[in-house]
Amino acid sequence: MVQYYETIASKQKQPTDVAPPHRRQSQRRQQRQRQHQRQLHQRQPQPRPHQPQQQLLLHQRRQAQHRHPRQQQPQLHRQQQHQRQQQPQRRQQQQVPQQQVRQQQVQQQQQQQPKQHQQHQLPLQLRRPAPQLQQLQKLQLQQQVPTTTTTTSPPCTKTPDTTGAIFNFATATIALTYTRYAYPFTASDSSSTVTFILTGDDGAKMHYWLLDDVSVNDTATNTNILVNGNFDQGTLNGWTQFCATDANCGNGDYGQLTTSPCRSAAYCYMDKCDNGGYYDYLLQSFDTVTGNYYILSFYIRAYASGGPHLAFVMLS
């Protein structure tokens, strides 16, 4: 009985204001929050007396930058322009030495390899030039080195060699007015010769020949390459005569110039060589280009019709 009363008495002495468990948890949370706030407060630096002034100045500067951003743009623009102007100058300064170095290298290569340069040029010189350039080169060579054409003197007979004649005429059938005859040909050598072989009559019947305006046209240049082909110089300059003597043709009957009747100008060629049927020769040699196309042309007539007198034209 005594123990029972003691336990009851001890229970009555214990405090009756003990909080329930859920309240204890909330109280612990509040204590933790208060401690955390105190720690944060202790970590923050305490404001100094002059700190508000610095903050004010920083605030004013920021406002000034936001209010006047355009004032800084010209300065930036000027700096960018200055940099752009300096960049080409620097590039030029860098390029100048490089160009000088390249020029020096090229000069050294040219000095060291002159033979190779000549070898590269040789194939260009060996190429075949155009026809006009060939003609020009040939004319230049003719001016530098005089050329001589040798012609074999034909025999002065009554039966000349007329093999290969391109034209043959007779006083009995030819027209009594100047008629043009033409013969085109392609040159096969560096020179050609045109030859007129004539026989006529100096008697009263007047069966003789009249020749005028002989030409050889080079179609590549469209020029006449004969000399004094129309006899208008008043001489036989450019022409060569064979068998044109009194002994072969009779007294003064060999081929010579006359003033009438001519086709166009003051002079033409007349031939009365006879003396029993002999012939005399009038010829001219001229330079040609192999492969070029030429046209030989001339005007011829008989003074009177009839008789057995002949004329031949040769081209060799």
What mean pLDDT comes out for the span 185-208?
A: 89
> What pLDDT shows up at residue 23?
76
- Predicted confidence band of residue 300 (pLDDT cuts 50, 70, 90): very high
Q: Is the pLDDT of residue 241 over 60?
A: yes
Domain limits of the chain? 169-315
Q: Is the pLDDT of residue 124 over 70?
A: no
> What pLDDT shows up at residue 10?
55
Q: Is the pLDDT of residue 132 over 80?
A: no
- The most distant pair of C-alpha atoms in the chain lies apart, rounded to whole Å, by 210
Higher pLDDT, 224 or 92: 224
- Predicted confidence band of residue 291 (pLDDT cuts 50, 70, 90): very high
Tens digit of each residue's pLDDT (9 = 90 or more) over 12-44 = 555 555 566 677 778 888 888 888 888 777 766
pTM of whole model > 0.95? no
